[in-house]
Chain A
Amino acid sequence: MNDSLVNSRHSNSRLAFFHIDTPLLLGLLALVGYGLLVLYSASGQSERMVEAQIIRLGVAFAVMIGMAQISPLTIRRWSLPLFIVGTLLLVAVLLFGHIGKGAQRWLDLGFMKFQPSEIMKLAVPMAIAWFISSHNLPPKKRHLTIGFLMCMIPTLLIAKQPDLGTSILIAGAGIFVLFLAGMSWKLIGLIAALISAFAPVLWLFGMHDYQRRRVLTFINPESDPLGSGYHIIQSKIAIGSGGVDGKGWMQGTQSQLEFLPERHTDFIFSVLSEEFGLIGVLILLAIYLFIIGRGLLIASRAQDNYAKLVAGSFTLTFFVYVFVNIGMVSGLLPVVGVPLPLVSYGGTSMVTMMAAFGIIMSVSTHKRSMAKT
């Protein structure tokens, strides 16, 4: 009954033919539109940057639509091969990778530079979902252990590059699959305890100096106001000085006079907060909440476990992006270099993210055909 209701609504939609989920698309378009508005201001009224971003968004939306056409069954078949290839590429990055900004993330293929960790953002949850869903739910301890290992291997490889932001996102994506699959609360508690026990070890042996500095800065940014604390102090000044209704579009002094660093990339949320105030922030959060809610709804309504797990994990990973980015620019979390999804200027992760939304749409619109199998 439930299914028929959803299906009938989709069959009525013209977009359904292209396997597009209309509410999700509208949510994404609203987000992208709002984001471009902020970007124009944050880039210092650079039309060139806005154009580049529009082109990038166009490509990303094309990828999304493309992915939406592929049936979840096909996607499921790709899961393991993609995971294996991605893992091998990560090893290759560590061995031959290109060093940029002190971290090894890029693989130079000659004609283009390529970041294998982006593939893993999709491949890790897909592969774990494939593995878990091929057994009954809730998963048994044995399966959980394997799923957990599948998650940790690429996470550690990426953390080694080092790319703390991405490794957290990938670890999160994998663990979300296990969580959604029904991992027992007792085990969740155990893992949480293990992580907190592991944190000091990570601090001492697993982190680079610059990462440690970021954490220290996070704890007390005023200790080094001109050095590592500068970013977060200026960001909080931008946000706080925005007040309830903001300084007005293109009127933010922190951003327009360039006191705010990375204003059009990682710190674009601060620009939005400064210029549009608390009201602007609430609008943004409402759009994000709508997209996340829609994603989780699609996951719940999906017919097979693989589709549920993949769609749910992608949605929650999207949420992690939002939370980590806003948390870091507003001083709730250390600065780890995670962009504000679909708003921050720039690129690689945007395409990956839209591919994930394409898969979610595929899950949303291929139900009938799946039900038949």
Chain B
Amino acid sequence: MLRKRIAMQDVEAEARLFSQRALVAMLLVMLAFGVIIINMYHLQVESYQVYQTRSEGNRIKVVPLAPNRGLITDRNGILLAENRPVFSLELVPEQVEDMTATLAELASLISISEEQQQSFLKEVRQQRRFNSIALKEQLNDEEVAIIAVNQHRFPGVTVEARLSRHYPFGNLFTHALGYIGRINTNDLKRLEDNDQLANYAATRDIGKIGLERYYETELHGTMGYQEVEVNNRGRLIRVLRSVPAQSGKNIQLNLDVGLQLTAQQILLEKRGAIVAMDPRDGAVLAFYSNPSYDPNLFVHGISSSNYNELLNSPDRPLINRVTQGIYPPASTIKPHLALLGLETNTITPSTRIWDPGFFQLPGVEHRYRDWKRWGHGWVDVYSAIVESCDTFFYDMGVKLGIDRISDYMQKLGFGEKSGIDILEESNTNMPSRGWKRARHNQPWYHGDTVAVSIGQGYWTSSPMQLLTTTAVLLNDGLRPTPHMAKTLTNDAGSEQVSTALQPTVNVVNTRNWQVIRDAMLQTVNTPKGTAFNAFRNASYTSGGKTGTAQLVSIAQDAKYDANALDERLRDNAMYVGYAPAENPSIIIAVTVENIGGGGSTAAPIARQMLDYYFSAGVNNDE
């Protein structure tokens, strides 16, 4: 009994103990659930916005859409830079059952190199399996057709079309248009600096040089995008929103295909530059540097052997001779100097000097020779320009002094960039005392002035600069800023590219303009004129000035013998001309390297160009 009662009591006490413990356990469970609920409240209520945003970020990807690059045409609407579909053979690994067999069969249909296959297989390993990967790019029409016919045999194999830049005229417009190429790290940095990087998210190529680079922003257009829902592997589920890309602006140029072709045909194997523009507004009509090269080589990435060939060619085709060709301006600047002489009353229209065939500084034995060994006899400012008398200008130049020459010529535009709408423009030099001190740490000598007086010595200029500074003489002191682009057009409308005429020098006696223009007219139209033969029987009136730039100094009493000189040290031939004589609509500069006299070589080239210009009516449209 007793033992049994104790046992009974134990059972009750034990049951109480257990119930107590079960109650504690239940409280702990509820406490734990409370912790869970607090945590859920924190996640789902307090931090809801944070996680909601991150969830959207997971699911929504923005896919950029590249805009179509603007087209470039000549002044008549002929395409100079277009976007062509190029076809590439692409495979989606996820859809290809037997990769090895498929590759083998494709290779039996069209030629696919071992290298292409290897790089393709490497891509396959690196990319996601549902991405399309290119096996062969730039298929020709025949290959596209072969694949199209056999397409049904190859699930997962497609021919994809992409737009690629193409320059149908090849090397004809290279130095003007430039070209586009793959965006590199320098381009990326530039885009970042200009806050343009985001706009290039889908773009592969960018203008590298020429107009393609200068008008990059306008040609590129504005990127579009698609907001798409993707899953965890990035596969597209559906498109949520789409904003189409805005194509770049189409650019119509002032350049004329006919003039360009004429320039190319004339220059052929010669090294040189031909540039022509409308002096009234700076519209560039022709812009050709020879030799040139095919810009299409650069679009898909030029091979290093091709590139080295261009880079190391002694003819230096990569140099844009119109704006980067730095030559002594030679006699082409005589009208400019004559204007200064007249303006400063250093000479008058009737001043005459005797030219014995050389010039001597007072008290110095050295003879500065005229190109005409026996001299021009009595010369005034007209005949000095018409016959390109050096002695007259030696004399006048020394009287003017370098300070006045340098100052005035800089005002006309020498030593400054022309401001044309490409960036490949080299610095030219209009020397001064200060410049020589800084550059060579030497004082300026009278002899330096003598050389400068005939556009030699330290004075350098580019064909483009000769054109703009000579246009100043035709425009009564207003300098046009050359521009190749004429209009920029997109869906929103069309916009004219026009540049203001820059005032240069204040001419005291406006009659002086006429003096030098008359002299330039006589250069072409009088039998003694250096360009008379070149323009004999032309159907239009024109004026101009020849120049023959000496690249080596000829020793005292020695005779210039072209045959005895290395080809690359022979004289450069130059000519700057304009037409018609009254109210000129075209001004042209011709520079031919190492070929001899301006009157005998450069002026006839200008004649051919002007002949074409007038017969084809290039600039008649306005």
Contact = CB atoms under 8 A, between A and B. Distances in A.
Interface string B13-57: 111011101100110011011011101110111011011101110
Contact of B58 (A176, A254, A292, A308): A254
Nearest to B20: A182
A21 B514 CA distance: 121
A238 B21 contact: no
B36 A243 contact: no
B59 interface: yes
B229 interface: yes
Given A182-B18, A241-B55, A244-B44, A285 B36 contact: yes
Contacts of B230: 257
Contacts of B48: 240-241, 243-244
A240 B33 CA distance: 18
B29 A179 contact: no
B58 A259 contact: yes
A300 B29 contact: no
B153 interface: no
A250 B51 CA distance: 18
Choose among A234, A237, A281 the residue with the greatest number of B CB atoms under 10 Å from its CB: A237
Contact of A244 (B32, B45, B233): B45
Interface in A169-195: 176, 179-182
Contact of B44 (A253, A278, A309, A312): A278
B232 A243 contact: no
Contacts of B10: 136-137
B36 A330 contact: yes
B35 A277 contact: no
A319 B29 contact: yes
A234 B59 CA distance: 12
Interface in B387-433: none
Interface residues of B, number: 40
Nearest to B14: A137
A277 B45 CA distance: 10
Given A241-B54, A282-B37, A332-B39, A277 B44 contact: yes
A215 B309 CA distance: 62
Interface in A229-261: 234, 236-244, 253-254, 257-259
A257 B232 contact: yes
Given A182-B17, A296-B25, A257 B237 contact: yes
A349 interface: no
A212 B104 CA distance: 49
Given A136-B14, A180-B22, A292-B29, A258 B40 contact: no
A320 B40 CA distance: 18
A277 B48 CA distance: 10
Contact of A180 (B18, B39, B47): B18
A312 B59 CA distance: 45
B344 interface: no
Nearest to B54: A237
Contacts of A202: none
B51 A240 contact: yes
Contacts of A331: 39
A362 interface: no
Contact of B233 (A179, A258, A289): A258
A326 B34 CA distance: 12
A299 interface: yes
A66 interface: no
A174 B254 CA distance: 93
Nearest to A326: B36
Contacts of A282: 37
B36 A239 contact: no
Contacts of B41: 278
Interface string A323-334: 100110011100
A234 B41 CA distance: 18
A316 interface: yes
B10 to A, nearest CB: 6
A200 to B, nearest CB: 25
A323 B36 contact: yes
B184 to A, nearest CB: 29
B119 interface: no
Contacts of B45: 243-244, 278
Contacts of A243: 44-45, 48, 52
B512 to A, nearest CB: 78
B18 A305 contact: yes
A240 B44 contact: yes
A201 B58 CA distance: 40
B498 interface: no
B486 to A, nearest CB: 52
A138 interface: yes
Nearest to A240: B51
A292 B545 CA distance: 108
B59 A305 contact: no
A293 interface: yes
A117 interface: no
Contacts of A237: 51, 54-55, 58
B242 interface: no
Interface string A251-288: 00110011100000000000001000110011001001
**Closest 8 pairs (CB-CB, A-B):** A240-B51, A241-B55, A257-B231, A137-B14, A258-B232, A240-B43, A241-B51, A182-B17
7 contacts: A137-B17, A180-B25, A237-B54, A239-B40, A253-B58, A273-B40, A296-B22
Interface of A: 136-138, 176, 179-182, 234, 236-244, 253-254, 257-259, 273, 277-278, 281-282, 285, 288-289, 292-293, 296, 299-300, 305, 308-309, 312, 316, 319, 323, 326-327, 330-332
Given A136-B14, A253-B229, 7 more contacts: A237-B54, A242-B44, A257-B232, A273-B44, A288-B33, A300-B22, A316-B29
